[in-house]
Structure 1
């Protein structure tokens, strides 16, 4: 009798599991953003949440969980039940840069997370104070090579994307500059525009307004190719000073144990949202490029970036507290 009861129970579980996946979602879904409200992470999450909600038939709520860089929020998403009701807004920093920066990172992005999809990417723009004597990146790095430690660059904090972009470029170019970390981009801009620091490698979406306003000068972009909104600004690689290819991407992730049917549903809905003309227009206005990769291409890009940036960060001798 016990054996029959056990078999009946197992049969019921097998019958109920697909039904539960078919009924998904039956409640609100949460997107955890591992950064404060108002930044790039948060903006992408809110744009996607607004369009995903009607397609999923449930509310999609953005929850900001900042702390320890991006680690607190990322961990919170990984530790949530693997049922598809908690997603993570993942970006280059918490997925691909952190493994190289933190020797004891409490998560493995390739093992612990499954990508729903990458949504949008932005280049970084290397900007200089208006009165910097050198007019091009080639001239500037020639000066920096002849005068080690005389050129300064700002960042929004150690380990930030701005820091990594500049430090890796510095390393690849074989020059020595001085890193000046700030508590956020706003403070960095104040000193850059005031002439107290020479350079800032900021995300292009925010750098663009300052460049267009004439308060700073654009020297190069971090992507392999030029950006449409900066057609006269070369890429770092194009100048020949360093073989840099860096774009900051953002996308949605879930716990790797999430049922495949739920992952498939979320992937379909995200793809449909990214195909909307208004989504493309929204991101394009700030220089963002909507990404249209399938699941295999997404996995390959993420794995490539984790491996590539881990090697570059370690090669440059960077840690969350050093350089």
Structure 2
């Protein structure tokens, strides 16, 4: 008798939970949704959070509130959402840094990108452009590497610190090119440009959009772009692979992610709303910022990309001699 009663209560509880989940999913959202940008205000994570958050608020009738959670590179904010309730009210902007690079940079990042998160949509990708002082005695990648080998320790790269695309690309060129180049850490990109223009630093790999101002004003010169294809607003700049100096490509991509156990109905609803938002010309323009590439992929393509990136970058970082912290 007790076994039958226990079984009946279990079935009732399971049925009630399922009914509640279905009801919650159909009513979603009924309160504001938090989007964590795992960085300080400004930059790619913040931009994606605010542009998508604004449009989704308009479409879904609830506020998408952006919360900047910096610290430990992108670790702090990402860890917060990995442990947050999987109810659709806690989202994070995921990108190359927190969803692929951190696994190769840290022994214990505190989360697993492929099992702790669901990629809702990847929406935009940006390349980096390698720029340098106008008076450097070389004008292409091959000559730069040759110069670095003949003059060990003489060239330096400005970087925005470990975990950033600027740092990773500079480290990869140093490791893959087998050259002795000094990496100089800065707190943000702006101080690097001040020292580039002042002749105190030689080279900098930065977001392609940001470099445009300095290239168009002829204050700096460009050596290569990190993407597989040339940037649409800088077609004269070769890709790293086109230079023949090294077989390397890197784009920093961004999208929205939810905790892994978020109900499927809510995941589907968010994906549909993001797809709708991305049809807006204004949203696309704001995300592109001149040189960005809008990304359009279905669920299977997105998951395949995530698996590929999560496997590729830790291996590349290890092969380049970048030690985990």
Q: How many Å separate the matches in 2 of 1:320 and 1:204?
A: 27
Cα distance per residue 1:262-317 (max 9 Å; x no partner): 11111111111112222222233431111001111111111111111101111112
Which residue of structure 2 lines up, in the alignment, with residue 165 of structure 1?
169
Q: Which residue of 2 aligns with 1:115?
A: 119
CA deviations over 1:87-109 (Å, ceiling 9, x no partner): 00111111110000001221111
Deviations 1:208-235 (A, max 9, x none): 2222222211111001111111111101
Residue of structure 2 in register with 1:303 after alignment? 307
SS in 1 for 2:153: coil
Indicate whether 1:24 and 2:24 are aligned: no
Deviates more, 1:271-280 or 1:198-207: 271-280
CA 1:94–1:11: 2 relative to 1, 3 Å:
closer
- What is the total number of aligned residue pairs between the two structures? 321
Which residue, out of 147, 157, 178, partners 2:182?
178
For the 8 Å contact 1:32–1:62, the answer to whether it is kept is: yes
Structure 1 CA distance for aligned equivalents of residues 217 and 126 of structure 2: 20
CA distance in 1, matches of 2:15, 2:226: 55
2:53 aligns with one of 49, 54, 75 = 49
Query: Does structure 1 retain, via aligned residues, the 8 Å contact 2:175–2:321?
Result: no
Q: Which runs of 5+ in 2 are unaligned?
A: none
Out of 245-254 and 12-21, give the one that drifted further. 12-21
- Among residues 279, 284, 295, which one is paired with 1:280 in the alignment? 284
Matched, 1:247 2:251: yes
- Cα drift, residue 39 of structure 1: 1.9
- Given that 1:120 and 1:250 are in contact with CA atoms closer than 8 Å, whether structure 2 keeps it comes out as yes
Aligned equivalents of 1:14, 1:110: Cα separation in 2: 25
Distance 1:264 1:315 in 2: 38
Query: Alignment partner for residue 38 of structure 2, among 34, 37, 40?
Result: 34
Correspondence list, 1:77-92, <5 A: 77-92=81-96
Q: What do residues 250-271 of structure 1 show as CA deviations (whole Å, max 9, x unaligned)? A: 1101110111111111111111
Whether contact under 8 Å (1:159, 1:319) holds in the other structure is no
Aligned counterparts of 2:244 and 2:9: Cα–Cα separation in 1: 72
Cα distance in 1 between the residues matched to 2:269 and 2:195: 47
Contact 1:125 1:218 in 2 (8 A): yes
TM-score (norm 1): 0.95
Aligned counterpart, 1:145: 149
Mapped partners of 1:91, 1:238: distance in 2 = 25
- SS state at 1:303 partner: helix
Equivalent residue for 1:104, pick from 105, 108, 117: 108
Question: TM-score under structure 2 normalisation?
Answer: 0.94
Query: Segments of 4+ in structure 1 off by > 6 A?
Result: none
CA contact (8 A) 2:51 2:287 kept: no
- The 3 A distance-change label for structure 1 pair 146 and 281 is same
Aligned residues of 2:73 and 2:162 also touching (Cα < 8 A)? no
CA RMSD between the two structures: 1.6
Select 1:59's aligned residue among 43, 63, 80: 63
- Structure 1 residues 231, 26: CA separation in 2 closer, same or farther (over 3 Å shift)? same
- The CA deviation string for residues 163-196 of structure 1, in whole angstroms up to 9 with x for no partner, is 1012112322232211111121111111111111
